[in-house]
Structure 1
Amino acid sequence: MASFFIKVSSTHGKWVYGILAVLTLIAAWQIRLIQIDTDPENMLPEEHPQRVIHNEVKQTFSMYDAIVVGVVATQSHDNAGRGNAGRENGVIYSPELLKNIHALTEYILQLDGVVTQDVMALSTVDNIRQGSDGTLNFSWLMPTAPKDTVQALEVKHAVERLPMLYNTLVSETGKAAAIYVPIVDKNQSYAIGQAIRQFIAKLPETQSVNGDWHITGLPIAEDQFGKEMFVQMGIAAPAAGLMIFLLLFVFFRNIPLIVAPMVVAMATVIITMGSLIGMGFTVHIMSSMIAIFLMPIAVVDAVHILSEFSDRYKPGESAASVIQTVVGHLYKPMLFTSLTSSAGFFSLMLTPIPPVQIFGAYIGMGILLAFIVTLTFIPAYISRMSPKALVKLQQAMHTSHSQNRTLLQKMTEALRVISLRYKGGLLVAFALVCGVSVWGISQIQINDNPVRWFKADHEIRVADTALNKEFAGTYNAYIVLKNSANAIDAKALLNQFPLPDELAAWSKGALSELAVAHSDNKLTVLAMAIDDALFEGYSDAAIAVLEGLAEKVDAARVQGNVFQQPEYLAVVSQLQAFLTEHPLVGKSQSLADIVKVVNRELLSGDPLDYRLPHSQQAVAQHILQYQSSHRPQDLWHFVTPDYQQTLIWLQLTSGDNQDMTQVINAVNGYFEGNPLPEGITHQWAGKAYLNVVWQDNMVAGMLDSLLSAFLIVFVMMVLLFRSFVFGILAMLPLTITITFIYGAIGLVGKDYDMPIAVLSALTLGLSVDFAIHFLARAREIYRQTGDVNFTLNAMFDEPASAISRNALVIALGFTPLLLAPLVPYITVGVFLASIMAISALVTLLVLPAAMFLLKPWVFPKE
């Protein structure tokens, strides 16, 4: 196979150039179709049960993703010298700030993509008070901006009497106010957020109280990450490429020569990304990193070829002949490093997470593409270099005064001394390191939060911290209680009720309506059909029968309206009381809260009457009263029209899936001690909960893929070297590197998140790369010399130099990622550098020591 690649590159160089250029241009043209997707919900397949439940809950209860706009009042000029005096009324209730909040709310209501009827702000919600005639009085809480402090204080007193608004629209401290902006499409959140920011910038300055405005919420965090990720894609990869180019120049001092690996890397990246986009896949946070992951892998083989070529080539020799010899030596190690690296990434296709599957598939294909391009383009390119350029290469590489050469020699010489002089000590030291690392791995905390994808000083993170400090929480999770007991069948009720012949046609029509009605509304549909029939001019006898049927249906509806019954609402209320005590739950809201507020205002307005009524009829009347408000649709956010399901809205101050897991476990523990009534079940929904689900799927999937890839690579190593011992030796650097990297993560307390999870595949591929080259060259040198000591010493000449160059080029080449504003890119930069440095050191320190101690099996005498 090596001869095939050499023949193609040597005899059809122009065809190689042409085909590569055409493929690159076609792929580059596809990139214009790019679509960004940063929604963590898509980390789960569309048919995943929890995702299906989440979407059903959103649809059933008309819940929308929401942006949270908040303002936090700062130092009051009027009260600056009086400590807390004058602040007891709450500084957010400044007429000037309330005027700005009112103006901003009016602007938000005009924006396209906003669910206007569900916007929650001081000017869009009701003040519920007792009316003079024993009914409720619903009036807008803040219909206009207060003109003075007296009117502002009226708003304050109204908010504090309404538990559903207190600490949601205004903080308990009285220092902050919020506007909840539900949006039709979460992909519009960035545009809506930008429009809101621009309007805020035009608001008039306040004199008495300053206000710091913030915008947060998972939808805008995810969408803004997508916009910034797109920019970062265009900066990070070229910056890393430039750094690699500069480092290659430091090592080889020959621009024409180092152009070759850069062409290989850029062509591989463009063709791979263009293929992904052209096939219709969206670019998720995972696939946005394909370019960054492929760059080092695509360069590694080329650097090995350049290193050996520069060491072997002598002036006057045929470049084509030398490059053929070099490729012949390196073909098998490069083939197996490519296969093992691609196997590591292909194993990610075993995970149950679609973006990770796509990421693994395309990087795996990209690695194989890079191998083919390297073995065709590099020989074709080098064999056509001018003699003048090759002479300059020799002058740069073999001059004794070359500083970079001296540094590299000093480094490899130091490694030679340490590895061959302290063999036993090294193995003991690394065994101890592995032992500590294993303990560190046990300390790893699995945690992720899309808001944490931004740096701490990013406006999204700042807003998240500020608003969650003031309010009950900007993260949402939902507990849905559902009556799973067999409900009364409307169709059976109609069929069993004796009807006169006069009503036969009506009965047939009613049955047809029931057949197409939603299962949750069949009794309501039947009741409406009866009401219509009562005005159809039937005989008195038929009317009497219909009225009797209506009574039966009403009784069935009352019996079926589970969450209209006080005892069931009490279950909800008791669960809320328990959740209130949990430190991670800022607040919860439910139908029970609505009923309690109405009950209080209908009876006395006294806090003692903030309780559930004792009868189902009273609950039904309270709900009917509430539906006279300006926002009757709010009721259906908490209960279904048939009262078979009810929703409890949890506001959380943290979106970390670790914290959400604690809340889930607490609720499960509560239900163990306080079982739900027979027939009532519960389920979770909400973005905070989905984060937990896909994290669990990711960790389990990554573990399975890593173990399977590890076994596959081990088998490949045994087959490559046709030796069980060499197979174990090849896996040694990989095992130590993975153990050390992930042990360090646990020891330093770094969360195990999505970028770190997929880096395991990169660790596997790059760590085994160095080991394969080291072992293959050692075996070759030993076959030529038969001398163990000479072989091990010779490994610290050109082979060690090539490995060191590769490690330094990649480790330093991706330092530009450390300047990225997005944390996943910084994480990848740090861990790429760590993986390369550690795997190279382990290869050059541990392998020689292990090979010497196992020399009867590693270096058998002929």
Structure 2
Amino acid sequence: MLSKWSRKVTFQLFQWHNEWIIRGFQGLLLIIEMKYENFIIKNAGKIIIATSILIGLSIIPLFFIRINPDLESYIPDDIDAKLNMNKISAVFGAEENLLLLVGSEDILDPATLEQVTTICSGLEQIEGISHIYSICQAKNIMGLDGSLIADQVLPANLSEPFNRDSLRNIIMQNDLVYNILVSEDFKETLIILTIDKSINDHDLIHSIMEIMQSVKGNAKVSMTGMAYLREEANKKISADLILLLPLGIIVMFLFLLLAFKNLKGVLLPMSVVMISILVSMALIPLFGWELGLIGVLIPIMMLAISNNYGVHVFSRYQEEIDSKNGKTNREIVADVIKYLKRPVFLTGLTTMAGVLGLVTHILLPAAQMGVVASISIGLALILSVSFIPAIMIYLKPDLKIDRSSQAPGLMQKILAVTASFVTRHTRCTIGVFIIFFLLSMAGLSWFKVAPDSNNVLPSDHPFNVAAQTIDQKFGGSKMIQIMFKGDIRDPQLLRKIEISGNHIKKIEGVGSVNSITTIIKKISSALNEPGTTEYNSIPDKFETIAQYIELYNMSGDPGALEQFADFNYEHSLLTIQYSATDMKTIQNIVKSIRESVKNDDRCEAIGGYSLVDQALGESVFLGQNYSLLFAFIVIAFLLSWIFKSIYAGILGSLPLIFAVFVTFGLMGWLGIELNIVTALLSSISIGLGVDFTIHMFWRLKSEIHSGKNITGAVITSITTIGRGISINALSVIAGFSVLFFSAFPLIHSFAFLIIISIFMCLLCSLLLIPAICLMIKPRFLYY
């Protein structure tokens, strides 16, 4: 969980982000206008030393990184779902359920029952489990000579023969067992554990797993519940960081080596990558934050993004060397900085602005990632135009590579064909983009928000397999609790609870509804004759209900009563089990439940983790919209400011709009849901994609100013800066591709979508933007 201090820091940083952008403009204007290259040349040694010190200082905070797999903590505390759940926890304790599912051909088989009993006995010894409810603890309430008897459902001695059919009939007549603890086909049974949320998940799950594995038997035992999800996510986050980062570094190393065919062209950008990753991870504990599921993306983002500027610097460095202009190495470095400082600084600023769109996200880890990533991107930008040139100064000046006799490479051939096609078939190019955009947009009809956290783990993971079985055979794995205030011995209160429960039972998707009235009616059935008004009903008198409860406490299981009533009998819970596979179904069920109690002044809170899950999904959608709107506005403003034309802002936003909405449309077509990870897609792709547009605008403007017409400028721009843009885009794609090896399916989806989005941005910069410029000849390119 985030500390109060870290939440305060988070909030403060989000408040400052607009000020950062304004000051960034001012600072960049000063840097761009001054002779920045002279400063780098004169202070190269000092820059290298300062960078080395930064590396050393950034290592220390890494030892204090903590992982937070608790999805509940990702949404703000003032969300209604969390407030209501906390209100219920304040009365009934900060507890949650953990479910063990036992499957067998017949759970009434003596060997299976013995296995369940042994497991339950072992679970009783584990610290943190406050209550166990299973077929072993279940009671069969009966009346005998005016007295209430609550016998165990199971025979006292399972080693002795018993009548299986008779036991089956007893269970089928028990509303508190049949379809609650035992499935209708008698092939599964549940062990419901009530656990203390303050207990360490790792220790608890490890202890439970030990018992599950140590008890031998033919029945298959699996587990589901939020504590199990948190523990599995915790392990997989650690495993992802250990696997993905080294793998990503290897992939990026090989890609740059293939692109530049020069070891220095690999090591220089990679040095910036490593430093930015180091600093980004160090910032997390420095701000008092924890590394969540979303945090797995941070080092991979830095790997994919922070090499961009170094790639452009070294690419230009190669161009200068190949020109054979007789300059010294120091002069070449100065010219590289002088030429690139403005476009590189400005593309870096727009990337930061796009990623900063995440700070408007409702999910705290997403907002935190926006802060950390934007700072680290800024650092990568500064290092690319200071640290890399400083290193270049000390390189031996014998790096000339004679490429005049070399045949054009594959990339150069593709770019030449692209330039020719765009200039010859301008209208056709634009038409193809429009058709593809419209076809993709049709997929928005099937665009969905993830309804729960189940997609965090693979569908075949035991967590999800157990949850699916519970959905199918036990009325649902999702739970909502309604807390009523008032004395549970009050007949009027109980009748209101009963009416609400009966109404909720009729809602499609609801599997079971239980409350204190379930127990009271069961007791009345045991103590009264069938056909009488008192049978299976709530008594009219306070005293009678009090007597029922007293009799149950003496002869039954007080623990079962505690599930529905607090210690002082001042509050009661109505528990609803339901199943739903999409957000719309959940919203309809929740709406119907709220409608059933909206006029009941004794209804104090409606809570449960499934409502937090719903709030998480809705926050993802809302946060996506906020960050998307913020990023578009800031990017359009920046482009207008950079090129001193509002038309540049509008035209430059077209590739971003195309890429984002095509990606959303494809999500609909392919059935990929918007979740806590894919919701980050738009801000990241906008921040990256705008770089390509700026570089293309910049080169077109430069070529036109050199005397070329718009057609010549387009051909030259595509075949020259197009190489740098392509290497940039493909390096980003290569960096994000390692996410396919993540243990989390939703990160696989993100990897696929971000690659599609970046590729769309690349196509737009090489095809759509030049085609539009050929058609409308925007004035901002001419002045």
Give the TM-score normalised by the residue count of structure 2. 0.90
CA distance in 1, matches of 2:238, 2:35: 40
Instruction: Give the equivalent residue in structure 1 for 2:642.
Output: 720
Aligned to 2:210: 198
Which residue among 617, 625, 628 is the counterpart of 1:695? 617
- Return closer, same or farther for 1:241/1:144 CA change in 2, 3 Å cut-off: farther
1:600 paired residue number = 525
Distance change (3 Å), C-alpha of 1:187 and 1:312: farther
Deviation of 1:717 (Å): 0.7
Structure 1 position 153, deviation (Å): 5.4
Q: Alpha carbons of 1:399 and 1:616: their partners in 2 closer, same or farther (altered >3 Å)?
A: farther
Q: Is the 8 A contact 1:64 1:184 kept in 2?
A: yes
Secondary structure of the structure 1 residue equivalent to 2:480: strand
Q: Taking structure 1 as reference, are residues 382 and 785 closer, same or farther at Cα in structure 2, changes over 3 Å only?
A: same
Q: Contact 2:455 / 2:746 at 8 angstroms: preserved in 1?
A: no
Aligned residue type for 2:139: D
In 2, Cα distance between equivalents of 1:759 and 1:665: 30
Listed one character per residue, the Cα deviations across residues 440-491 of structure 1 (whole Å, up to 9, x for unaligned) are 3354222242221112222322332234333223332212344xxxxxxxxx
Query: In structure 1, how many angstroms separate the alpha carbons of the residues matched to 2:331 and 2:462?
Result: 59
Corresponding position: 1:422 with 2:458:
no
Alignment of 1:840-859 (within 5 A): 840-855=762-777, 857-859=779-781
Contact 2:309 2:384 in 1 (8 A): yes
Please give the secondary structure, in 2, of the residue aligned with 1:127.
strand
Partner of 1:373: 383
Structure 1 residue 743: deviation in Å? 1.8
Partners of 1:642 and 1:105 lie apart in 2 by 29
CA contact (8 A) 1:98 1:145 kept: no
Note the residue ranges of structure 2 that are not aligned, 5 or more in a row: 1-30
- Label 1:642 to 1:467 Cα distance change in 2 as closer, same or farther (>3 A): closer
> C-alpha displacement at 1:399, in angstroms?
6.0
Q: Structure 2 vs 1, CA of residues 108 and 783 (structure 1 numbering), >3 Å: closer, same or farther?
A: same
Change beyond 3 A, Cα 1:18–1:152: farther
Letter in 1 for 2:328: S
Q: Post-superposition shift, 1:26?
A: 2.4
Decide whether aligned partners of structure 1 residues 615 and 586 sit closer, same or farther in structure 2, where only a CA change above 3 A counts: same
Query: Using the alignment, how far apart are the partners of 1:590 and 1:19 within structure 2?
Result: 66
The letter for the 1-side match of 2:175 is P
Shift in alpha-carbon separation, 1:357–1:610, aligned structure 2, 3 A: same
1:122 aligns with 2:135: yes
Q: Aligned pair in 2 of structure 1 residues 607, 350: CA closer, same or farther (>3 Å)? A: farther
1:454 is aligned, of 454, 457, 461, to: 457
- Alignment of 1:363 with 2:373, yes or no, is yes
| Offset, 1:735 | 1.3
Amino acid at match of 2:426: K
Note the 1:819-858 alignment, pairs <5 A. Answer: 819-855=741-777, 857-858=779-780
Q: Which amino acid aligns with 2:437?
A: C
Letter in 2 for 1:362: V
Q: 1:168-215 CA deviation, whole Å, 9 max, x = no partner?
A: 22111100111112221366334333333333333334xxxx422211
**Deviating more after overlay: 717-726 vs 180-189:** 180-189
Deviation string, structure 1 residues 285-333 (Cα, Å, up to 9, x no partner): 2223211222222011111222222223136643332232222222222
The 5 A counterparts of 1:761-772 are 761-772=683-694
Q: Which residue of 2 aligns with 1:15?
A: 46
CA shift in 2, pair 1:824/1:6, >3 Å: farther
Higher mean alpha-carbon deviation, 287-296 vs 683-692, is at 287-296
| Other-structure match for 1:229 | 237
Distance 1:9 1:285 in 2: 39
C-alpha distance after superposition, 1:533-584 (max 9, x if no partner): xxxxxxxxxxxxxxxxxxxxxxxxxxx63x4344442332233333334342
| Contact preservation (8 Å) 2:272, 2:380 | yes
The Cα of 1:149 is off from its aligned counterpart by 4.9
Name the larger-Rg structure.
1
- Is 2:516–2:564's contact at 8 Å kept on the other side of the alignment? yes
Is 347-356 or 213-222 further displaced after alignment?
347-356
Whether the aligned pair in 2 keeps the contact of 1:814 and 1:829 (CA below 8 Å) is: yes
CA contact (8 A) 2:205 2:227 kept: no
Aligned counterpart in structure 2 of residue 103 of structure 1, from 112, 118, 122: 118
**Contact 1:767–1:840 at 8 Å: present in 2 too?**
yes
2:50 alignment partner AA: I
1:58 aligned partner: 89
User: What is the CA distance between 1:69 and its match in structure 2?
Assistant: 0.9
Please name the residue that 1:135 is paired with. Answer: 147
Q: How does 1:799-838 map to 2 (within 5 A)?
A: 799-838=721-760
Tell me if structure 2 keeps the 8 A contact 1:730–1:771: yes
Return closer, same or farther for 1:605/1:252 CA change in 2, 3 Å cut-off.
farther
CA distance in 1, matches of 2:157, 2:379: 64
Matched with 2:247 is 239
Q: How does 1:281-360 map to 2 (within 5 A)?
A: 281-314=289-322, 317-360=327-370
Per-residue CA deviation, residues 211-239 of structure 1 (Å, 9 max, x unaligned), is: 22211112211221122112102211221
Q: Which of residues 258, 265, 268 in structure 1 aligns to 2:276? A: 268
Which residue is equivalent to 1:477?
480
- Given residue 384 of structure 1, which amino acid in structure 2 is its aligned partner? Y
- Which shifted more, 810-819 or 606-615? 606-615
Question: Alpha-carbon deviation of 1:761?
Answer: 0.7
Q: 1:154 to 1:370 in 2, by over 3 A?
A: farther
Per-residue deviation, 1:426: 2.1
Any conservation in 2 of the 1:656–1:688 contact (CA below 8 Å)? no
Q: Conserved in 1, the CA contact under 8 Å of 2:512 and 2:576?
A: yes
- Counterpart of 2:220 in 1: which secondary structure? strand
Map 1:368-447; keep pairs closer than 5 Å: 368-387=378-397, 390-391=399-400, 394=401, 400-401=406-407, 406-447=409-450
Deviation digits for residues 612-659 of structure 1 (CA, Å, limit 9, x no counterpart): 334333223222222224532433432346655432111233476544
SS for the counterpart of 1:110 is coil
User: Which amino acid in the other structure matches residue 285 of structure 2?
Assistant: I
Aligned to 1:785, the other structure's residue is in SS state coil
Moved more, 258-267 or 275-284: 275-284
The verdict on how the C-alpha distance between 1:4 and 1:178 changes in structure 2, with shifts beyond 3 A counting, is farther
Bigger shift: residues 4-13 or 812-821: 4-13
| Whole-angstrom distance in 1 between the partners of 2:157 and 2:37 | 80
- Does structure 1 retain, via aligned residues, the 8 Å contact 2:491–2:542? yes
Q: Does structure 1 conserve the Cα–Cα contact (< 8 Å) formed by 2:277 and 2:299?
A: yes
The size of the alignment, in residue pairs, is 749
Match of 1:256, SS state, is: helix
Partner of 1:113: 128
The residue identity in structure 2 corresponding to 1:351 is H
Which of 503, 507, 511 is the aligned partner of 1:578? 503
Aligned residue for 2:307, secondary structure, equals helix
Distance 1:216 1:153 in 2: 30
1:68 aligned partner, one-letter code: L
Cα 1:194–1:743 change in 2 (3 A) is same
Amino acid at match of 1:286: I
**Structure 1 residues 124 and 796: CA distance shift in structure 2, 3 A:** same
Q: Does 1:43 pair with 2:62?
A: no
List per-residue Cα deviations over 1:73-124 (Å, max 9, x = no partner): 14xxxxxxxxxxxxxxxx1111101111111111111112222xx1112223
Shift of 1:57: 0.4
Q: 2: CA distance between counterparts of 1:789 and 1:312?
A: 25
Confirm whether residue 257 of structure 1 aligns to residue 265 of structure 2.
yes
Q: What CA distance in whole angstroms lies between the structure 1 residues aligned with 2:563 and 2:156?
A: 27
Mean Cα deviation higher: 275-284 or 597-606: 597-606
Deviation at 1:431, TM superposition (A): 2.5
SS in 1 for 2:179: coil
Q: Partner of 1:386: helix, strand, or coil?
A: coil
Q: Decide which of 569, 577, 583 is 1:651's aligned counterpart.
A: 577
User: Do the aligned residues in 1 keep the contact of 2:99 with 2:192 (CA within 8 Å)?
Assistant: yes
Distance 1:414-1:566 versus aligned 2 partners, 3 A rule = farther
1:223 partner letter:
E
